[in-house]
Structure 1
Amino acid sequence: MLHKCRSYLSTFLFLTLLLSLFSGNACAAGQQKVLVVDISDSITPVTDDIVADAIAFAENGDYEALVITLNTPGGNLDETLNIIEQIAATDVPVIGYVYPEGTKAWSAGTLILISTDVAAMAPYTIIGSAQPVTVTATGSEPIEEDKIINAIVKRATENAKMHGRNETAAEEFITKNLNLDAETALDYGVTEYVASDIPDLLSQVSGIEVKGKVLDTDGASITYYEPSLRLAFMGIISNPLVSSMLLLLGVYAIILGISHPGFGAELFGLVAIALGLIGTGFDVNVGALFLVVAGVILLVLEFQAPGFGVFGIAGLVCIIAGSILLVPTDFPNNYTPAEFQRSLIVSVATPTIVIGLFFVFIIYKVFEVRRKKPLFGELIGDMALALEPIGNGQTGYVLHRGQHWKARSSDIIEKDDKVTILEKDGVVLVVEKMKDKSKPEDQIDDEHDR
């Protein structure tokens, strides 16, 4: 009887364990997943690659939705349009979310937000300032060419219309630089939700229908997309500031390498320029590159040939002008507010000017050395002190103005004798025992003490 009870108990425990495993698997299988990809800083040539990779990851991983968090001053228009097309093409519901609190999604970021399937903002965030501008020598100027403005406005209003959003606000983002906070954007029908964080957002959107499917995101597990090493590296060098600085560092490294060969600076310069070009997507101002190359040639000429600094000054002017033009702020390739463009120009131009002033100092010193009388001629006739016996075919060292020189003499010179320098043969001084006693002994002793 006891044996039967033990057998029933074992069977019961086994069935209970099996049931718990099945129920656990069923719960795990029923839990939905949401992928989150972050777009922060400027939208660059690699940003659309990251979004495309994240969309493919969400499609293959059977994710319930993809959340794109936005915190950007804007960026490249071509890449922005590519991202918008990718959002429209995928079957995965895409939620745009300006996050975290206190951030912004200006210009290109606003265009992306109003093109997502669901648009949301965190409290105290801002969208807008989508009118394209260009930075000139006299300041920032809005671009008002009808062909450009009408094309962007039509794209923005059609995207807003597709998702049932405020078309007037979408137009005024571009034509009037409209800016909206989270609550106002919600009231105007530009966005659908205000959420404090991602779990709150997922809880609010759960149950709505997007792209033919009802979202089940309340309590869903959140996975944060991590780009591959290649995309992460490309994301660094495609930053407008980093790519511009790489180009400038490469230019100055080549100048240094040509002026002082043997240290491998030329190789570093070529690598830096190549990375800078890759970071900018090879879309570089040809005129700016010409100015930089011309500046390099003029500086090299200044270092290699005698002159009065004219080549050097002209070269520096060319490099500084070219470096400013290399900053990727031209529209429509770069679609960012004027303030960001000015900051970018200052960030690139300031180190260029500092390095330029350093080269001016070097050129001045080179010019000063060229005008200076050769020091070797000043040795002749000077007095020195023998530090060891010299003569009878034996060379020794003498002390002259605090420096040790190798010397030879036809005279017999003992240690501590005073000698006169007759000539310089290579690195060896030809001396004779001092016959002129007019030089005070204490002056010679002072030289010895030094």
Structure 2
Amino acid sequence: MRKIIGEWFGVRRALSPAAAALLGILLSVLPNNAQTTHVALLLQLQGIVGPASSDYITRGLRTAAERNASLVIVQMDTPGGLDTSMRDIIQGILGSPVPVAIYVSPSGARAASAGTYILYASHIAAMAPGTNLGAATPIQIGDLPFPKDDQEKNDKDQAPKDGHGDASPMSAPANPMEAKAVNDAAAYIRSLAELRGRNVDWAEQAVRQAASLSASAALKENVIDIVASSVDDLLLQANGRTVSAGGNQIKLDTGALKLERLEPDWRTELLMVITNPNVALMLLTIGIYGLIFEFLTPGSFFPGTIGAICLLIGLYALAILPVNLAGLGLIILGLALMAAEAFTPSGVLAVGGAIAFIAGATILIDTDIPTFQTSWPIAGGIALASLALSLIIVRLALSSHKRPVVTGSEAMTRAEGEVLDWRGLKGHVLASGERWTATSETPLKKGQHVRVAGIEGIILKVEPDQTDGS
């Protein structure tokens, strides 16, 4: 567009300076979408697929679209992960106007479980020699072992269906919920296979029978497009291929692409930390206790400020994790009961709160992936620390209850004093370092020691001190 406008104005040199200035402004604001940076962005997807990796990949895809990159390469090595995070990544790939190549590498890496779905969704599916993919059964995401009896039975009854794949068969779903999950996952991966023109039957086999394939077998079975020894080899083999991205047919020109690595930023690193359920649980506990201490000692600000920050961060982390609301409710109830010991010391509330807290922490995260499970030692440690704090409060409350009163009107009862002056049944005494008006049922004399028998308003009732020998 710039070139056309420039040529058109170039043949009209008789235009006024104002028109030339207008041309300069127009050229400066015209979009430059027609130009490409001819760069390939390299992303890393290592480890469990979770909220942090999902955020990193989807933002990387948006960055590639904004920069008009020619290709996005995701170097992947994953045992699986959360279904929600996997689907977020796949939606980002399917909606990306920039072609995405998923490359399982280095040698020894795998695209198991959720990684298989992501690989099927990519525009270019590539693997390095010595890698594998498969085992995409929903209840096995995260490498959970099969029940021993079922596994042994399946190992005997079933064998690999061909020489390329290793069937890791699983038993039939034990209940309707498992059957529903397996059927949904099978339909999902079939749709991805049909969209990309890859092996549909093996995709379903990977879900229903937990089948796996090596890189060379996956290429032969039309599960992947390329077996590449390196990223450069991948770019070389992808050159000239035509893919459909963003509703357009794009012919890849990867011969002279500039490779640029996109590292995780502070946001991704923070998400990796706070989306650990144990960290989120500790933040939630600190937040609630911080607010409680602020209510107990209003005006200190520090506990309330720290507590509010930790509580909000903890709730944000739990909001992006598959949280069981019943577990979260039990945790909050347990913390509230243990905190209630500060107001109504009894010991029962503290013990009940600890039980509720541990039960809630056990079922807090609604997934079978070990990485996203709360740790028993950490949950128990938090519960014991809270219980100990509550019991300390109970002990302090009971010990203070047994101590004599040292302030107020009750503290004056049985206090000793000395008569300053007396006339009839009324006079003034010195008690607790202060001059009081006092009355007595018996006459007293100046200097006599007395003991306070009671108080009415600001007038003391006194009686002679029987222990005084004077």
When the two structures are superposed, what TM-score results if normalisation uses the length of structure 1? Answer: 0.63
Matched letter for residue 311 of structure 2: I
Residues 1:270 and 2:308 aligned together = yes
Range 251-260 or range 216-225, more displaced: 251-260
Aligned to 1:354: 381
C-alpha distance after superposition, 1:74-94 (max 9, x if no partner): 334334334323323333221
Residues 1:289 and 2:317 aligned together = no
Give how far 1:66 is off.
1.0
Give how far 1:299 is off.
0.6
SS at match of 1:201: helix
Give how far 1:228 is off.
5.8
Distance in 2, matches of 1:315 and 1:155, equals 43
Distance in 2, matches of 1:210 and 1:199, equals 19
Give how far 1:272 is off.
1.8
Aligned to 2:360: 322
Residues 1:110 and 2:149 aligned together = no
Distance in 2, matches of 1:374 and 1:57, equals 65
Distance in 2, matches of 1:165 and 1:245, equals 45
SS at match of 1:105: strand
CA contact (8 A) 1:243 1:277 kept: yes
Give how far 1:52 is off.
3.6
Distance in 1, matches of 2:128 and 2:377, equals 36
Aligned to 2:428: none
Give how far 1:255 is off.
5.6
Give how far 1:168 is off.
2.2
Matched letter for residue 316 of structure 1: A
Matches within 5 A, 1:97-136: 97-133=103-139
Distance in 2, matches of 1:304 and 1:237, equals 32
Residues 1:305 and 2:305 aligned together = no
CA contact (8 A) 1:255 1:299 kept: no
Distance in 2, matches of 1:319 and 1:106, equals 34
Aligned to 2:98: 92
SS at match of 2:341: helix
Distance in 2, matches of 1:298 and 1:64, equals 58
Distance in 2, matches of 1:54 and 1:252, equals 38
Aligned to 2:46: 40
Distance in 2, matches of 1:166 and 1:218, equals 28
* Greater relative contact order (Cα < 8 A, sep 6+): 1
Distance in 1, matches of 2:36 and 2:396, equals 81
C-alpha distance after superposition, 1:224-254 (max 9, x if no partner): 1245655554454345554444334434545
Of 176, 182, 207, 2:215 maps to 182
Matched letter for residue 186 of structure 1: L
CA contact (8 A) 1:297 1:315 kept: yes
Residues 1:279 and 2:317 aligned together = yes
Range 125-134 or range 226-235, more displaced: 226-235
Distance in 2, matches of 1:123 and 1:256, equals 58
Aligned to 2:261: 224
Distance in 2, matches of 1:124 and 1:244, equals 39
Structure 2: give runs of 5+ residues left out of the alignment: 1-34, 148-172, 405-470
SS at match of 2:101: strand
Give how far 1:156 is off.
0.3
SS at match of 1:304: coil
Structure 1: give runs of 5+ residues left out of the alignment: 1-28, 330-337, 378-450
Quickly say closer, same or farther: Cα 1:271–1:295, change in 2 above 3 A. Answer: same
Give how far 1:358 is off.
2.9
SS at match of 1:37: strand
SS at match of 2:345: coil
When the two structures are superposed, what TM-score results if normalisation uses the length of structure 2? Answer: 0.61
Of 241, 245, 250, 1:213 maps to 250
> Aligned-pair RMSD on alpha carbons?
3.6
CA contact (8 A) 1:204 1:218 kept: no
Quickly say closer, same or farther: Cα 1:88–1:343, change in 2 above 3 A. Answer: closer
Distance in 2, matches of 1:31 and 1:302, equals 64
Matched letter for residue 73 of structure 2: V
Residues 1:63 and 2:63 aligned together = no
Quickly say closer, same or farther: Cα 1:140–1:241, change in 2 above 3 A. Answer: farther
Matched letter for residue 292 of structure 1: I
C-alpha distance after superposition, 1:249-285 (max 9, x if no partner): 4345456666777473343233222112222336643
SS at match of 1:326: coil
Of 195, 211, 219, 1:162 maps to 195
Distance in 2, matches of 1:187 and 1:271, equals 54
SS at match of 1:222: strand
Distance in 2, matches of 1:115 and 1:74, equals 15
Give how far 1:159 is off.
1.1
CA contact (8 A) 1:45 1:280 kept: no
Quickly say closer, same or farther: Cα 1:248–1:50, change in 2 above 3 A. Answer: same
CA contact (8 A) 1:244 1:326 kept: no
Distance in 2, matches of 1:112 and 1:235, equals 20
Give how far 1:201 is off.
1.9
SS at match of 1:34: strand
Residues 1:344 and 2:382 aligned together = no
CA contact (8 A) 2:338 2:390 kept: no
Aligned to 2:15: none
Matched letter for residue 350 of structure 1: P
CA contact (8 A) 2:138 2:185 kept: no
Matched letter for residue 364 of structure 2: L
Distance in 2, matches of 1:92 and 1:311, equals 58
Matched letter for residue 311 of structure 1: L
Equivalent pairs: percent with the same residue?
Answer: 29
Distance in 1, matches of 2:288 and 2:126, equals 45
Quickly say closer, same or farther: Cα 1:242–1:166, change in 2 above 3 A. Answer: farther
Aligned to 2:433: none
